[in-house]
Amino acid sequence: MQPAEIITETGGVIGASWLMIALPAVGAAILLLFGRLTDRWGHLLGTAMSLASFAVAVLAFVELLGFDEAERRRQVMLYDFLPAGSFHVEMGLLIDPLSISFALLITGVGSLIHIYSIGYMAHDEKRRKFFAYLNLFVAAMLVLVLADNYLGLYIGWEGVGLASYLLIGFWQHKPSAATAAKKAFVVNRVGDFGLALGIFTIFTTFGTVAYKDVLANAGAAEQVTLTVIGLLLLLGACGKSAQLPLQSWLLDAMEGPTPVSALIHAATMVTAGVYLITRSGAIYEGAPTAQLVVTIVGAATLIAGAIIGCAKDDIKKALAGSTMSQIGYMVLAAGLGPIGYAFAIAHLIAHGFFKAAMFLGAGSVMHAMNDEVDMRRYGGLRTVMPITFATFGLGYLAIIGIPPLSGWFTKDSIIEAAMHVSPVLGWVAVIGAGITGFYMSRVMFMTFFGEKRWASDAHPHESPKVMTWPLILLSVGSVLGGGLLIAGGTFAEFLRPAVGAPEEPLAFHPVSVPGIVTIVLVLAGAAYAWTKYAKSPVPEVAPRGSFLTTFARRDLYGDALNESLFMRPGQWLTRLAVFFDNRGVDGIVNGLAAAIGGTSGRLRRIQTGFVRSYALSVFLGAAAVVGALLAVGSF
Amino acid sequence: MNQIEPPVIEYAQVAPLLVVFGAAVLGVVVEAFAPRYLRKAIHMPLTLLSLAGAFVLTVWQATQSPHNAAAMGAIAVDGPTLFVWGTILVLAVVSVLLISDEDHFVGQASALPGSAEEEESITARAAHTEVYPLVLFAVGGMLLFPASNDLLIMFVALEVMSLPLYLLCGLARRRRLLSQEAAMKYFLLGAFSSAFFLFGTALLYGVAGTVEFRGIAEALTRVGGMDTLLLAGTATLGVGLLFKIGAAPFQAWKPDVYQGAPTPVTALMASGTLVAAFGGLLRVFWVALGGLEWDWKPVLWGVAILTMLVGAILAITQTDIKRMLAYSSIAHAGFLLVGVVAVGDAEQNREALTGLLFYLVAYGIATVGAFAVVTLVRDAGGEANHLSRWAGLGKRAPLLAGVFALFLLAFAGIPLTSGFLGKYAIFAAAGGADAWPLVIVAVIASAVAAFFYVRVIVLMFFSDPAADGPTIAVPTVSTSIVVALAAAATVVLGVIPEPVLNLASIAAESLFVR
């Protein structure tokens, strides 16, 4: 079934849905502009703005449910952004089942994270600024998902990039945080470069960047063009969603405060790539090659992320590896076409809940353990921190896919869909699930079970209520979410107007061969982790390990690869530039500095020398231009 | 004896030019007769009023139609000219406000640095008020340059624009050796490039038998693109023009001159001169040499690519804020060249021209704003230009650093700033002209450039301030106005670009008159 037509809407809550973006944006503006004046109540304002935005999203959602299925794609015109000539762009919002699902996730989970941060950042003197950035992030992310055209998406895309850059580097006094922020920025530039070129190609092909026109006419374009667009957009998606080969920044980005990791790197920003691919479904459906590449990238990343997750001793980095892997599942599902879209988004929402619960749980543990992140220094925390243990545990059971928690529904659906399209992809997803069972159990057991391996000055305690309540709510979501979405095909039906649906929708089978194999593998992985990390003592210093362990610890040599592919040539280029700069350009400055203290004769000599060489360069350049023009002219 | 025909001049159309030049001449008279203590008090209103008056006249002209070539076809007052005039006049007013700030100019330029005479002039609080008429002459040249419709007028405009700037460059109050060196270099290399311009003019005259753009365009249809004289003339003329915009490989002067010149003068050069030079460049290549498009396009492609890469890559290693902005200006000249080669049919030309005009406004304003901020960050020896001195500025002066960050983001082309739309418009136009390789290089260069802009932001906000860091001068009223205006314009052009884009597209509608 094809997606429904887009209708222009002016009234109602949907007509005022720009408020969703404006509220957090105003919050960020107030907190940044009024500075220290807002120190005392800034965090409350930020949280209130996020909650208000959530309220608008809920109202818009309810209103959307009131329409017939065929009328559930509503476009709200805001203003003419670029009026001139043929690059005419109207800025508006598209409220449809897909975008409202994202908006609910972003504002809902985002608000919980705001509340949690009130407690987590209580002792940080820059708490106000932190909330300003959080608000900014929420606003930018909403621009990304709500815009009704690719240019708006790009604006939001850059906005979340900026906000995440500011948030990752928030503890800039740590050099590692500053480096991580820079890395995230540079890697994302590569992705953004792809996205920008993709949008330019869309513009030249279709003459517009509005979803309404582009997606409706995608079928008419040539397959080659669609493939090029699809691959370029995929490059953008890889950068934002930390997929191979642009995955390296995500692990380092864990340097930011923990709520940031939860908000950006679990619930929202990294899912932008999945959104982009799903939204551009019509383009990918016309380009089977691009679709195939999407599924391969997803499958490869889900295995790679899982392997990295196995070897990390830093609790946040282990969770980051798992994020990569789970996003891999979503990208894989999104690459399967209409059969997988609903499952990709359902898994994305379920993941938003359980991964945020675990990241915030990890934050709660760190809060209790003097910011220790090494799991080898945890152990036996379940009795000291019962609420954190319970909520983290539920998130854990959800992610490894124990029935009937949410991960079981959503991940098994993706596996089923992949099996349906290609058994190879399906089995890769099954194996990934098995590894997930092992590494998530490892995190769980090393942290909450086994012997206490605490540092001598650690006095763990349960976190305050303002931190535990969000955990509880998120864990409720991670228990129930998947079932509510998948069972009975409710969510697929809801999304149908936005993304279309396959000829024969895939029903959810509680009992199937791949499903049983998955459960068996997961349990085997968990059991192995139990014998290794709960039953036997865990050494406080990581053992050297085999070649495979080293391979995984080094992030599968992703950094080494990046270094030799990008950084080295970059450094050579810089060195070359420095060399020329020293010889040609800085020479004058340095020479001048020396000359001011030295003799005027020397100064004159240096000066005439360099003007002459400048003139020579002008002359040679002129000769080159004349030569080139004559050469061109004689052809 | 032959009667000499008196030329017919449409005074109304060239009125903005006449007002500016008239005020400049008056300024010289003031220098000669007014007592020293009164001079600044006379110059300031004279300069600002004349620029404002010229702006009003330009707006009035814009409401008159049709536009045509005035003064016997020598000066083309058409849509693009009027738009460029308006832009230059606004930038000039803003720069004059910066110039009027105390302390930027030397008391007595003829005194040797460190000599007793210099000491004396400082104690006497002497100041070179000649700065104002010099600026007016330069601005007059800038107005005439993009409007000239024949090569000789254009050459005169080039010199009228450049000569006062050579002088102004050498008048910095502090680091005078650097300043004088900059003036000397700019003069020598400028003269060198003028020679190329004249040589090209002579060769083209040899081909076409006229220096008028219209005549040259007509002659091109007769001789075709194989004529060696024609090609050599085009190339050498192009070198003279490319030198002025600082395109590679003719960019060597830019960092030195921008660094050495007094910062308000740098602001005027980096904004006004660039706008004027692009206006002139467009007219020469699109009007006079439009028929030779297939010959000069590949060469300008190469120059554009080289310019973007040289600007973006060399900027990374700069440690001086003014030098960094100079390389950034080189990179932007490259981006603008992308728009110049995006020619095609009339519709395509309109689109490219609209993008270029918008880009010039956006870049010019952000540039003046950025240099205005540079004038405010000072230590004992004057402006603190070394980048290491800017570390942690965000903690000492969050507002100032925030505004500077805004300008840098605009240069980088981040959405919701003016720079993004400028880049978008130009790249889209180039894409429309099938210049895809060029667009790809431009996007790569933008990405590289974004890196060094953001590096400065990181330095300002994420680094610890140096213990003996620079002080932030309390901005005078005029400097505050400049910074505030530039920041507001940068945001407004980014969020609500419609009015200016509309103006640009109306200006581009008629294209250049022939």
Q: From the CA of B422, how many Å to the nearest CA of chain A?
A: 11
The answer to whether the CB of A335 falls within 8 A of the CB of A233 is: no
> What's the pLDDT tens digit per position in B415-437?
888 888 889 889 888 888 888 88
Residue whose tokens read 């991580």: A180
> What's the pLDDT tens digit per position in A461-499?
777 777 888 888 888 888 888 778 877 777 877 888 877
Distance CA A618, CA A554 (A): 50
Residue A566 at interface with chain B, using a CB cutoff of 8 Å:
no
Among chain A residues, the shortest Cα distance to B352 is held by A85
Q: What is the mean pLDDT of chain A?
A: 79
The answer to whether the CB of A299 falls within 8 A of the CB of A431 is: no
Cβ-count burial of A68 within 10 angstroms (0-12 exposed, 13-18 middle, 19+ buried)? exposed
The answer to whether the CB of A325 falls within 8 A of the CB of A305 is: yes
Residue A61 at interface with chain B, using a CB cutoff of 8 Å:
no
For residue A555, what pLDDT is reported?
58
For residue B331, what pLDDT is reported?
93
* Residue of B322, B342, B323, B359 whose CA lies nearest to B436: B342
* Residue of B83, B80, B38 whose CA lies nearest to B59: B83
Of residues B459 and A602, the one with the higher pLDDT is B459
Among chain B residues, the shortest Cα distance to A159 is held by B415
Residue whose tokens read 């020469």: B284
Q: Taking the model in full, what pTM does it have?
A: 0.67
Q: Tell me whether residues B440 and A197 touch, CB distance under 8 A.
A: yes
DSSP state of A405: S
> What's the pLDDT tens digit per position in A403-420?
878 888 888 888 888 888
* Residue of A432, A441, A451 whose CA lies nearest to A393: A441
> What's the pLDDT tens digit per position in B110-142?
777 777 777 777 777 777 888 999 999 999 999
Q: What value does the mean pLDDT take over residues B455-469?
A: 79
The answer to whether the CB of A349 falls within 8 A of the CB of A101 is: yes
For residue B411, what pLDDT is reported?
93
Nearest by CB to A85, from B227, B238, B351: name it. B351
Q: Tell me whether residues A80 and B498 touch, CB distance under 8 A.
A: yes
The answer to whether the CB of A264 falls within 8 A of the CB of A166 is: no
For residue B66, what pLDDT is reported?
59
Residue A80 at interface with chain B, using a CB cutoff of 8 Å:
yes
Reported for A588-595, long-range contacts at CB under 8 A and 24+ positions apart, including other chains, are A588/B181, A588/B256, A589/B259, A589/B320, A592/B177, A592/B178, A592/B181, A595/B177
Query: Best-predicted range by mean pLDDT among A51-60, A78-87, A183-192, A299-308?
Result: A51-60
Phi, psi of B75 (to 5 degrees): -125, 120
> What's the pLDDT tens digit per position in A323-372?
888 999 999 998 888 888 888 888 888 888 888 888 888 888 888 877 77
What percentage of chain B carries pLDDT values higher than 70? 98
The answer to whether the CB of A126 falls within 8 A of the CB of A32 is: no
For residue A551, what pLDDT is reported?
59
Distance CA B394, CA B337 (A): 34
How far CA A589 is from CA of A112, A128, A586, A610, B48, in Å, comes to 55, 43, 5, 11, 36
> What's the pLDDT tens digit per position in A98-129?
888 889 988 988 888 888 888 887 777 778 88
Q: Tell me whether residues B181 and A588 touch, CB distance under 8 A.
A: yes
> What's the pLDDT tens digit per position in A527-586?
888 887 777 776 666 665 555 566 555 555 555 555 555 555 555 555 555 554 444 444
Q: Tell me whether residues A197 and B317 touch, CB distance under 8 A.
A: no
Nearest by CB to A585, from B255, B316, B414: name it. B255
Chain B hits for A159, CB-CB cut-off 8 Å, are: 415-416
For residue A635, what pLDDT is reported?
66
For residue A519, the one-letter residue type is: I
> What's the pLDDT tens digit per position in B228-275?
888 899 999 999 999 999 998 888 889 889 988 999 999 999 999 999
How many beta-carbon pairs under 8 angstroms link A with B?
181
Mutation for A interface: B166, B250, B284, B503, most A CBs within 10 A: B250
Mutation for A interface: B198, B199, B223, B231, most A CBs within 10 A: B231
The complex's ipTM works out to: 0.85
- Beta carbons within 8 Å of B511's beta carbon, 6+ residues apart: B78, B79, B80, B286, B346, B349, B350, B353
Residue A438 at interface with chain B, using a CB cutoff of 8 Å:
no
Q: What value does the mean pLDDT take over residues B58-76?
A: 79
For residue A590, what pLDDT is reported?
43
The answer to whether the CB of A578 falls within 8 A of the CB of B317 is: yes
Q: What is the mean pLDDT of chain B?
A: 88
Of residues A303 and A568, the one with the higher pLDDT is A303
- Give the number of other Cβ atoms within 10 Å of residue A371's Cβ: 9
- Give the number of other Cβ atoms within 10 Å of residue A80's Cβ: 17
For residue A600, what pLDDT is reported?
32
> What's the pLDDT tens digit per position in A70-91?
778 888 887 776 655 556 677 8
How far CA A45 is from CA of A24, A103, A162, B437, B444, in Å, comes to 9, 20, 22, 48, 40
For residue B308, what pLDDT is reported?
92
Q: From the CA of A173, how many Å to the nearest CA of chain B?
A: 8
Nearest by CB to A592, from B181, B415, B458: name it. B181
For residue B340, what pLDDT is reported?
92
Q: Order of strands, edge to edge, in the sheet holding A7-9?
A: A7-9, A74-82, A89-95
* Residue of A438, A432, A430 whose CA lies nearest to A512: A430
For residue A589, what pLDDT is reported?
40
Residue A267 has pLDDT above 90, yes or no: no
Q: Which two tokens stand for residue A59?
A: 């109202």
Q: Tell me whether residues B295 and A629 touch, CB distance under 8 A.
A: yes
Residue B280 has pLDDT above 90, yes or no: yes
Could you tell me how many residues make up chain B? 514
Say whether the peptide bond before residue B497 is cis (omega within 30 degrees of 0): no
- Give the number of other Cβ atoms within 10 Å of residue A552's Cβ: 22
- Give the number of other Cβ atoms within 10 Å of residue A512's Cβ: 14
The answer to whether the CB of A156 falls within 8 A of the CB of A147 is: yes
* Residue of B87, B160, B149 whose CA lies nearest to B280: B149
Distance CA B288, CA B309 (A): 29
Q: Tell me whether residues B235 and A626 touch, CB distance under 8 A.
A: yes
Q: From the CA of A114, how many Å to the nearest CA of chain B?
A: 23
Residue B70 has pLDDT above 50, yes or no: yes
- Give the number of other Cβ atoms within 10 Å of residue A485's Cβ: 26
Say whether the peptide bond before residue A404 is cis (omega within 30 degrees of 0): yes
Q: From the CA of A627, how many Å to the nearest CA of chain B?
A: 8
For residue B490, what pLDDT is reported?
93
Q: Which two tokens stand for residue A585?
A: 């350009």
Of residues A569 and B156, the one with the higher pLDDT is B156
Phi, psi of A267 (to 5 degrees): -85, -40
For residue A582, what pLDDT is reported?
47
Q: Tell me whether residues B443 and A197 touch, CB distance under 8 A.
A: yes
Based on its alpha-carbon atoms, the radius of gyration of chain B, rounded to whole angstroms, reads 22
Q: What value does the mean pLDDT take over residues B163-189?
A: 89
For residue A593, what pLDDT is reported?
37
